[in-house]
Amino acid sequence: MRGSGYVRAIALPPPALGNNTADAQRLEQALKKALNTGFVHIPRALIPDLPGRLREWGWRAKVVLFKDRRSFKVVDLLDPGDSGPVLGAAVDIGTTRMVISLMNLETGEKLGETGFDNPQAGIGPDVLTRIHHARTPAGREELKRLAVDALNQQLVRLCRENQMTPDRVFLVAGAGNTAMTHLFAGLPAFGIIQEPYIPCVNILDTMDAATLGLDIHPRGQVFLFPNIGSYFGGDLLAGILAADLDRKDQPCIMVDVGTNAEIVLGNKDWLMACAGAAGPALESGVSRMGMTAKPGVIDRVRVDPSTKDLILHTIGEEAPVGICGSGMIDLAAALFTSGRIDIRGKLVPEACGQRLTDEDDIPAFELVAGADSGTGRPIRLSQVDLNSLTSAKAAMYTILEVIVSQTAGLSFSDLERFYVAGTFGSFINPDSAITIGMLPDIPTDRFQVLGNTSLKGAELLLTDPEAFDRVMAVRDTITYIELNVNQGFMTLFSGAKFYPHTDTSRFPSVKV
Amino acid sequence: MRGSGYVRAIALPPPALGNNTADAQRLEQALKKALNTGFVHIPRALIPDLPGRLREWGWRAKVVLFKDRRSFKVVDLLDPGDSGPVLGAAVDIGTTRMVISLMNLETGEKLGETGFDNPQAGIGPDVLTRIHHARTPAGREELKRLAVDALNQQLVRLCRENQMTPDRVFLVAGAGNTAMTHLFAGLPAFGIIQEPYIPCVNILDTMDAATLGLDIHPRGQVFLFPNIGSYFGGDLLAGILAADLDRKDQPCIMVDVGTNAEIVLGNKDWLMACAGAAGPALESGVSRMGMTAKPGVIDRVRVDPSTKDLILHTIGEEAPVGICGSGMIDLAAALFTSGRIDIRGKLVPEACGQRLTDEDDIPAFELVAGADSGTGRPIRLSQVDLNSLTSAKAAMYTILEVIVSQTAGLSFSDLERFYVAGTFGSFINPDSAITIGMLPDIPTDRFQVLGNTSLKGAELLLTDPEAFDRVMAVRDTITYIELNVNQGFMTLFSGAKFYPHTDTSRFPSVKV
């Protein structure tokens, strides 16, 4: 048996009077041996074809497999000389955007990637509206169809771009948060948003693609990353896989900054996670203010060391139209290091000079004058925006402090790697984030941006059979920390609302 | 959790903030605990209904389960107060006749039974013709549909007789020989009849009833007893289950006399089986001559001790129309004990007197004169018929001798029980069979007629979850003995062609 992953070339011992087990069991035994596993499932639909195919192919075949919780499953048997592509599709099931990548399952190579808006947003841009819509079977079916139809269309396009067709896609792996996973699979989700926050399902076993209406190979299989709870979804498990957190010797941390801050800490021996609940400040902060990246959006800000002027960079180097989250963090760091905001995050009139203006009687810093902007309107940062950012960065630091120091008993310097996941996180400049006290003051080479970890984890799951078992093992062993916003938290939070922190000894590298 | 078998009343711990796993996993965990098992599969189709049902029913339910090789599977969740019947159907998939019994899965009670001709006989009365017909997918589908449609109709009728409907049938278990199992499941079977005799499949995992077109509960499940090889089918595994052979302390034997003689010998520690190959004499003997039981068929024959007259009994006590297999054995014993045939099985003219006639110049014994028969034609037993019977009984004894003495190294007296299975076997009078030397001379109270063991095994499988594991364990451990018709066999066979045997010391109880 050659090959690796889920595509294997196999040769069976031909039958004889002294070796006369059935065709299906002959295949089953050969695969059990080759995969070193106790059971291999052969689907009923494939069984009638076995006698003809195995004899025609001289007891050799290219076998496409997948896994479920119980065993390997055979998806199809191909002619051993079949030279067509054997494809898989990884899917990031995002609330706003969905992303697919097309994988060659034989080589592990990524052939292409495409992102598109999740059409469920037509029902409601936010998850709450969609969950309410999913209270009826018809609503659930509609939400599922919207997402699945779009996925089917995009998959056709992605395959066509690679001169391939979706009937050569045998496996799909998808990762999303708990609510999105439910809505993608057409499941009721109302339990997720009402106390005591009970999902319909945490582990949805590998299923026929046809069950979801996915137009791939007729016996194609779909695996959706399992959830751990209502606020800890498959996207985070995919992230752990992508970051290899469950295989690290030394403690590492992964922070996914999306609508919530989600944090996983640990190594090969232990993993803990916290998510969501403490994030209201963060939610109403960075992510609200940050625009989606598009041409003209300010994504980097720095201070000219000699003139103290702010130097802006926009996406596509076009006239500025707004600022994104990473630009905001850069801007706050620049304002702070140039003395334009003080350690409480308040605008300093003397330092701001003519840039200080006001919006609805609230002080604001004018970053771009109307005449210079791409929209004709000035781009301003009000004290209210700044306060939100201050709360957000303080919440992030406090959450990190609670989980790393208070819960795990580690210091930040013990963290061998600090992974930053999620679209927003991808663009954060760690130096700026440290400067404002959002991230801890550790050597910047320990920070590593992972990008779309949901997608990467799903890609890994399609190409490495061990990944399936890792996901299940992590799911069963990870400790979920409920982050209580209690008096202790609020005390830490208050200290973290300073720039970079009331306790400046925590940020020795930040010089103002 | 109350109940037994595959119907269980279960109460789940209600969710709480501190116990917030998903509905599906809550059910899974409760069932794992209650069933003391490592995994319980919940079908995808049931998952969307869980949140509503579990909450409406106050976290209680009546759960209908089944098994496959990997785990227990949930078939449906019923209202805990549901008082409707929970039914299963056991099926004997016979070449000529099919039999269904309707089982109450909660009580284990058998509610009714019905037999009907297998409509596949319309394609061909013999299995060979059907296997040839099954070479094309359309032919396979036709054969499957014929059997399944008839089963559906009979099941409706059987349910109606019990004021029930087939949508309350959740489980079906069927047992047949290897070829019949393939044809019932719509699978190619040509490998079974050509060297090296390879079935398409030996173990067909539990599947959706819909896959076969069975009109039962929409998520109903079907299990077909697995085969061990082309000539050792699920019917024999069902028989082992019915006879409890795999649980016996002392060696026991089960003999199924159908078209072939199939024999299983052993106890809880070991089992061996042989079937088929040595049976040509038997095939062309008893079973060819024996009529199917119907009114007027002679089923019992005895000798009046004083007059030596033969006293015939017919089914329904109607005018005689023929003789069935068990009647034939009785008749041969009566002829032998009354001196009308000698130890070589030849008609003795002096003893037969006026009953001796001839048919096509072959001596024959006239059992019923034409004037006394139900057909107007005489009922005769020719020397050719007798020779066939002699070969048949000798073959049976020789096979028993080979497996019990030569292979297992036991003597017949070591057999604690001698089970006789199969329709034909059900009516054999052990005394007569011993008298002619067909069965060994052991105390007649050790013989036990089991009747339709395929059906009984299937009934057991539906009502006792341990039965599934027993079937798989027996399948994996039983030794199949290829019976070679070599010189040694022929020598034994020659000795066994005498009445009762050349070695009369083997039959001390037979006094002539």
- Please provide the DSSP assignment of A400-455 as one string: HHIIIIIIT---GGG-SEEEEEHHHHHT--HHHHHHTTSS----GGGEEEEE-HHH
For residue B41 the two structure tokens come to 């599969």
What confidence tens digit (pLDDT) does each residue in B87-136 have?
A: 999 999 999 999 999 999 999 999 999 999 999 999 999 899 999 999 99
Cα dihedral value A104, A105, A108, A113, nearest 10: 40
Q: Minimal Cα distance from B50: which residue of A?
A: A200
User: Looking at the DSSP assignment, which residues form a beta bridge with residue B104?
Assistant: B87
For residue A166 the two structure tokens come to 């979706």
Is B202's CB within 8 Å of A21's CB? yes
Instruction: Return the higher-pLDDT residue of B220 and B4.
Output: B220
Q: Which residues, at least 6 apart from B233, have a Cβ–Cβ distance to it below 8 Å?
A: B175, B176, B177, B178, B179, B180, B181, B225, B227
Sheet with B447-451: list strands edge to edge.
B447-451, B417-421, B252-257, B261-266, B271-275, B479-480
**C-alpha to C-alpha distance for B280 and B277, rounded to whole angstroms:** 7
So what's the pLDDT on residue A289? 53
In this structure, how many other beta carbons lie within 10 angstroms of the beta carbon of residue A445?
Answer: 9
Q: Spell out which residues of chain B touch residue A41, defining contact as CB-CB under 8 Å.
A: 70, 205
Spatial contact of B331 and B299, defined as CB atoms under 8 Å apart: no
Q: Check the CA dihedral B340-B341-B342-B346 and report its sign.
A: positive
Closest CB to B48 among A24, A51, A188: A188
How are beta strands A72-78 and A40-41 bridged, if at all?
parallel
DSSP state of B292: P
Among A115, A90, A64, A7, smallest CA distance to A217 is for A64
Cis amide prior to A500 (ω within 30 degrees): yes
Spatial contact of B137 and B150, defined as CB atoms under 8 Å apart: no
Q: Minimal Cα distance from B16: which residue of A?
A: A196
What confidence tens digit (pLDDT) does each residue in B248-286 have?
A: 999 999 998 766 678 999 999 999 998 754 444 444 445
User: pLDDT averaged over chain B?
Assistant: 92
Closest CB to B196 among A17, A187, A198: A17
**C-alpha to C-alpha distance for A293 and A468, rounded to whole angstroms:** 33
What confidence tens digit (pLDDT) does each residue in A331-343 have?
A: 999 999 999 999 9
Among B497, B81, B464, smallest CA distance to B281 is for B497
User: Looking at the DSSP assignment, which residues form a beta bridge with residue A275?
Assistant: A262
* Angle, CA B19 vertex, CA B18 and CA B23 arms, to 5°: 150
Q: Check the CA dihedral B490-B492-B494-B497 and report its sign.
A: negative
Asked if the C-beta of A191 comes within 8 angstroms of chain B's C-beta atoms, the answer is: yes
What Cα–Cα distance (Å) separates residue B52 from each residue in A190, A228, B220, B453?
10, 21, 21, 43
Is A200's CB within 8 Å of B51's CB? yes
Sheet with B310-314: list strands edge to edge.
B310-314, B297-303, B322-323
Q: What is the pTM of this model?
A: 0.90
Mean pLDDT, consecutive 10-residue stretches, chain A (512 aa), reads 78 92 97 95 96 97 96 97 96 95 96 97 94 97 98 98 97 97 97 94 96 97 95 94 97 83 93 67 47 84 93 94 88 95 96 91 93 92 89 89 94 96 79 95 95 96 97 94 80 94 94 74
Q: Which residues, at least 6 apart from B44, have a Cβ–Cβ distance to it below 8 Å?
A: A204, A205, A207, A211
Write the secondary structure of A35-86 as one string of H (helix), E (strand) and C (coil): HCCCCEECCHHHHHHHHHHHHHCCCEEEEEEEECCCCEEEEEEECCCCCCCC
E-only strand ranges, A316-395: 322-323, 356-359, 362-368, 379-382
Question: Helix or strand or coil: residue B171?
Answer: strand
What Cα–Cα distance (Å) separates residue A384 from each residue in A240, A362, A373?
35, 8, 22
Residue with tokens 């509503």: B52
Residue with tokens 């019949």: B180
| DSSP H or E run through B322 | strand B322-323
CA distance A184 to chain B (A): 13
Is B140's CB within 8 Å of A48's CB? yes
E-only strand ranges, A71-161: 72-78, 87-93, 97-104, 110-117
For an interface test with B, which of A42, A47, A178 has the most B Cβ atoms less than 10 Å from its Cβ? Answer: A47
Q: Check the CA dihedral A499-A500-A505-A511 and report its sign.
A: negative
Asked if the C-beta of A353 comes within 8 angstroms of chain B's C-beta atoms, the answer is: no
What confidence tens digit (pLDDT) does each residue in B444-468 have?
A: 999 999 989 999 999 999 999 999 9
User: Looking at the DSSP assignment, which residues form a beta bridge with residue A313?
Assistant: A300
CA distance B467 to chain A (A): 20
* Mean pLDDT of the B310-333 span: 91
**C-alpha to C-alpha distance for B9 and B238, rounded to whole angstroms:** 28
E-only strand ranges, B198-296: 207-208, 221-224, 252-257, 261-266, 271-275
Closest CB to A25 among B190, B202, B211: B202
Task: Specify burial of residue A115 (Cβ count, 10 A radius: 0-12, 13-18, 19+).
Answer: middle
**C-alpha to C-alpha distance for A233 and A460, rounded to whole angstroms:** 17
Write the secondary structure of B478-502 as one string of H (helix), E (strand) and C (coil): CEECCCCCCHHHHHHHHHHCCCCCC
Q: Spell out which residues of chain B touch residue A40, defining contact as CB-CB under 8 Å.
A: none
**C-alpha to C-alpha distance for B213 and B149, rounded to whole angstroms:** 8
**C-alpha to C-alpha distance for A65 and A6, rounded to whole angstroms:** 5
* Mean pLDDT of the B25-34 span: 96
Q: Which residues, at least 6 apart from A172, have a Cβ–Cβ distance to it below 8 Å?
A: A88, A89, A90, A91, A209, A214, A216, A220, A221, A222, A223
Query: Looking at the predicted structure, is the pLDDT value of residue B42 above 50?
Result: yes
So what's the pLDDT on residue A258? 64
Residue type, A162: N
Among A98, A39, A83, A91, smallest CA distance to A65 is for A39
Query: Looking at the predicted structure, is the pLDDT value of residue B3 above 70?
Result: no
Spatial contact of B454 and B352, defined as CB atoms under 8 Å apart: no
E-only strand ranges, B1-96: 7-11, 40-41, 60-67, 72-78, 87-93
CA distance A50 to chain B (A): 7
Spatial contact of B64 and B76, defined as CB atoms under 8 Å apart: yes
Q: Spell out which residues of chain B touch residue A201, defining contact as CB-CB under 8 Å.
A: 22-25, 47, 50
**C-alpha to C-alpha distance for B330 and B338, rounded to whole angstroms:** 12
Closest CB to B22 among A19, A140, A202: A202
| DSSP H or E run through A397 | helix A383-401
What Cα–Cα distance (Å) separates residue A122 from each residue in A119, A126, A127, A129, A279?
6, 10, 11, 10, 26
What Cα–Cα distance (Å) separates residue B309 from each residue in B10, B326, B366?
66, 19, 13
Interface of B with A in 132-151 (CB under 8 A): 137, 140
Task: State CA A316 to chain mean position distance.
Answer: 25
For residue A322 the two structure tokens come to 């707004």
How are beta strands B169-176 and B221-224 bridged, if at all?
parallel
**C-alpha to C-alpha distance for A265 and A416, rounded to whole angstroms:** 11
Asked if the C-beta of A371 comes within 8 angstroms of chain B's C-beta atoms, the answer is: no
Q: Which residues, at least 6 apart from A163, have a Cβ–Cβ distance to it below 8 Å?
A: none
What confidence tens digit (pLDDT) does each residue in B284-296 have?
A: 445 445 567 789 9
Interface A-B: count of C-beta contacts within 8 A = 127
So what's the pLDDT on residue A274? 85
So what's the pLDDT on residue B284? 42
Percentage of residues of chain B with pLDDT beyond 70: 95
